[in-house]
Structure 1
Amino acid sequence: MRKIVVIDPQVAGISGDMFLSALVDCGANKNKIINNIKTIEKLFSDTIIKKIEFINSESNGIRATKFLFDIEEKLLERNASEMLRILANCCDVTNLSELAKKFVMETMKTIIRVESRIHDKEVKDLHLHESSSIDTAADIIGSATALDDLDLLYDTTFYSTKVAVGGGTTQFSHGTIPNPTNAVLEIFRILELPIAGGPAHSEMTTPTGAAILAGLNPKIISTYPEFIPHRIGYGAGFKKFEGIPNILRISIGKSNIYASIQSDTVSVLETNIDDMAGEMIGDLVEKLSKLDAGVKDVTLVSGITKKNRPVHILKVICSEDIEKRIIELIFNETGTLGIRKTINERYKLERFSVLLPITIQNQEYVISVKISKDQHGKIINIKPEFDNIREIANKLGIPLKKTMDTVNNLIFQRNLYDV
């Protein structure tokens, strides 16, 4: 069964230390986390870790784990490029998995990307303040270590409720700004994740917490998915809110959606095209394919119409909510006078993509692999992402077919079909 993780920041928001604490409360090895954080201390000049521990705490009567991290820092800002180099070195000295390293770097890049936009500076000219502290690195490295230890970076679907971002104002290095802070708001704008003001009149979600959540690419939910919860962790923050437990809850379990074949409803749009050049039809197919995630498939079928005219039948399978955009695009691009529409029920097997680390010619890569399962939860097909295979082939200068065969053999050796 596929692992399910539900992150619930709808009441108290999310910060890096709350996320890390919740994972420890779920059973992540706190000694391994503490050791990794202590290991990176030497990479931050003029920095001393005075105290680091996870303690039992409570908020509004609810027991939780809290991360205590007391430091002494003399250097209060760093160049963004330098911070990326430090994080890369942190990954090397802590023996994180390739997927964990990728998570660390993408999380830091998210923070830097939004800071670059906010201050209108290139990365090489950008100086970070709060986010350049070892405190930020500790949250990210610690979280990556915990995710690694709980085996949550592979074959896992992450879910998140909407994120509470608080209200009022916050004081930081650039003065007084409203909540959510600019960085938090930018992260959620880029990732298109929903937020909600309140419930407290304070900062409830930090940039590090928002970036960590974004790095997990969660599916947004208003109600919990169907799953079997095995572990529940509570991570406490430091602020106290009247009537609001300052706690992030994380639930870890297994999927239970294998009782029957799933189905949904899709729109099928069709039109005949008999007066367009092949290059223009190809361009239309490309535009349709990139239009929206709601486009399920685009197909061209060659045929003969009355008076023996050659024709291409364009067929687009899509979700109903975007069919008007597709219809408008087809009319504008083709000049066709009519488009046929049918509503079909579609039966489908579970499918999902995971990131898989592989090694070819002593070089490590992370590829996206699409996995499909039957109604009983058994894996029936594993297919690597073609674009990833082509990129590896081009980098190594070897034939595409040979690269595909090599990757498929590596996947087969993982015994994933036995999962």
Structure 2
Amino acid sequence: MSFGVLGGTCAPDRLAALRTAGASVVELPMAWDRYQPQAGQVDRGYVAEVRARLNDCREAGVGVVLSPGLQYPPDWVRGLQGGVLEGSAGGAPKDAGAELVFSSEVRKAAQDYFARVLSDLGLAGITAIRVGTNASGELGYPGPDDGGKVGEFWAFGDAPQFGIGLAEGLAPSPMPGWIPGSRTWHGRSVTDEQVQRWWGWYAGSVVNAVAWQVGELRKLGYQGRVHVPVAGRGVLPEDRAVAVKGRLDGRANPDGAQERGLDYVEQFAVLARLPGVDVDFTGLDDVSNVRARAAAPPQDRCQPGDDAKVMEDVSSWSSHRYTSALARRAGLGLVGENPGPPDSPFTGGSPESHSLAEQLRAAPQYADECGMTMFLFGFEDNLFEEGGRAESGVSVEDYKEVIQRIRSP
């Protein structure tokens, strides 16, 4: 297993310290809105900044996981036809990635952006490229905290409902006008089969956007690994059955996975058909781990035989144990990262969450036990803050000790 950091800067002094600690890869984040602030216009200063960082990593012999930053679309992209998702209650997400799920125009813009990035930066030294669809850069639609109302689904614009400006290869809603939770459609009772078909379309459309990105990268000549960040467990099979019976009215939906369109059983099967794809679990030692560890017996750690049990009752398992087993079962590669500081945005922190120091102790071990090929610590800045351990509770020396312990048990 290789070790690295999220939010890398490729600063030479930090790279030297990370290499001494045993880390060999950094995630280098980019932002689409900074790269292409106007349609047809590239900010050459920003391009030069990213290229310089990438070159510093190359010269240091440190691999780069490139995050193109589609979760930060420029305003002109949001202004394209279908450029913003529309909710079932009329809402719009306050934070969202580029609307790559349904909008043909947004996909064309992203296609051009990918081509510019790979042409400007080159492929040397790039260990992997991350792709996703939501504001966190992960697979899925916006969640309950991203705007709109509780229980709002995100496929109600002209493209998904009527096919106007719909991305190639997608079908419009099999039940146009039907809103999850409704018992009728066009004056008739809605059947389980209809709800299941609508759910399959909704979840299938969002994973199609990820598959499309992988395909575009391959067309541009990139043949390396592609990381697809995922969080949580998605909709468990037993919960999906209950949700369908309830017409997706909010039952059996403890963490908003239904609105996010997360059906990992089916979606991982789609990803497994794409060469070179790794599932990147973003919540090693998240709240679910804390709770699963407290169970009797503990249910937090990956165990031999999990792949065969993953379709049984796994409600007591930690999220990473379930999702890792599901990915292995599908034949996908696995990488992982801890959530990061529990009081930071997008980390899913709660009063139950472990501190960053506790995450550093536990998360790499979880990654090792689950057979992951890479662990990325969140985040680089936390290892190098002024004052070091006094500020964040961790330091690069702490990371070194963890890496040495795992490599020399």
User: Higher strand fraction: Structure 1 or Structure 2?
Assistant: 1
- Which structure has more relative contact order (CA 8 Å, sep 6+)? It is 1
Common fold: TM-score over 0.5: no
**TM-score, length of structure 1 as denominator length:** 0.27
Per the normalisation by structure 2, the TM-score is: 0.28
